[in-house]
Structure 1
């Protein structure tokens, strides 16, 4: 019969059915479904199987080539793009984290931007530094200010006691 695809699928129907049930992504389900339909005979041709899955036959041929080359692992392998590189490199991030742990701290995020530029040669904008320090490093650039010399310790203790009584 013309158009019938001769593919030797190593997995059994039961294995494919179990594999189909445990797939978490739609991409993986479609690919295992292709093998299942071809193995059970429900999809007699690639065109017919493509229509059942809702994909183009060229896509199914690509998946079959992946299966032939790497088996089921090669077919289900997900490729991830690395994404855009960070504007502040990891080494600078570690140096900044170490500097944030020191007691003198910074007066604000703009001072951190200037420190990165002058000391490490890393140019970045205010918003990037804020996101890095506040969200990623979970830190705060400011340090506690000095206490007033006019402040009297017994009054502070009395205030603390009355503060939490409600």
Structure 2
């Protein structure tokens, strides 16, 4: 058997419709829509309302229980989990939008995170900053130069061009010859590619 909703809605259907038009928050808009459908007589049961809103009947029941105890103000009050906000407030977002347009304003998303906290009093996670700046404001941070990598490249290039040190001994071959007095003498000649260094 269908569960008919018994709820004494204080606002008129016209008032609810006007509130529905003005509301910008998706969650609040959904709740106002539920009240409006019920007040205007377009639905009378939880099951019908559940199908229209694509919401579980238990969720809609909790909404209406809150309306009974707290009225429209409590009905529209949304639960905000503890911790950092998941979005940047509109006022801070507008300031950030203008700031990122300045040349060399920020080099990293971490700098933006610190700027928001210092200048706007908004403490949000790094991912929130990245998602907002990258996808909502369509701005990109320049990747910092990898100085370590460049340093290694320069060091490698310098080592390839380095001259032999004083302790480095060139490869030579020994050729035993004799001088005019019959004493042996030693003459060094460069080694040939074949390894035969004797003259």
Q: TM-score, normalised by structure 2?
A: 0.42
Give the structure with higher Rg (CA): 2
**2:24 and 2:111 mapped to 1: Cα distance?**
36
Residue in structure 2 matched with residue 157 of structure 1 by the alignment: none
Distance 1:2 1:17, change over 3 A: same
Task: After superposition, give the CA deviation of every residue in 1:90-123 in whole Å (9 maximum; x if it has no partner).
Answer: xxxxxxxxxxxxxxxxxxxxxxxxxxxxxxxxxx
**1:4 and 1:137 mapped to 2: Cα distance?**
53
Residue in structure 1 matched with residue 26 of structure 2 by the alignment: 26
Task: After superposition, give the CA deviation of every residue in 1:28-67 in whole Å (9 maximum; x if it has no partner).
Answer: 0110011001111111211101100111111100100111
Residue in structure 2 matched with residue 40 of structure 1 by the alignment: 40
Residue in structure 2 matched with residue 13 of structure 1 by the alignment: 13
- Kindly indicate whether the alpha-carbon contact (under 8 Å) linking 2:2 and 2:47 is maintained by their aligned counterparts in 1: no
The alpha carbon displacement at 1:81 in A equals 3.0
Residue in structure 2 matched with residue 64 of structure 1 by the alignment: 64
Give the match's secondary structure for 1:58. Answer: helix
**1:130 and 1:40 mapped to 2: Cα distance?**
48
Matched residue pairs, number? 95
Give the match's secondary structure for 2:79. Answer: coil
| Higher helix content, 1 or 2 | 1
RMSD of Structure 2 on Structure 1 (CA): 2.7
Distance 1:65 1:130, change over 3 A: closer
Q: TM-score, normalised by structure 1?
A: 0.50
**2:15 and 2:3 mapped to 1: Cα distance?**
26
Structure ranking higher on relative contact order (CA contacts 8 Å, 6+ apart): 1
Alignment of 1:108-147 (within 5 A): 132=114, 136-137=117-118
Unaligned stretches of 5+ residues in structure 2: 85-109, 120-199
**1:34 and 1:135 mapped to 2: Cα distance?**
37
**1:19 and 1:77 mapped to 2: Cα distance?**
14
| Higher strand content, 1 or 2 | 2
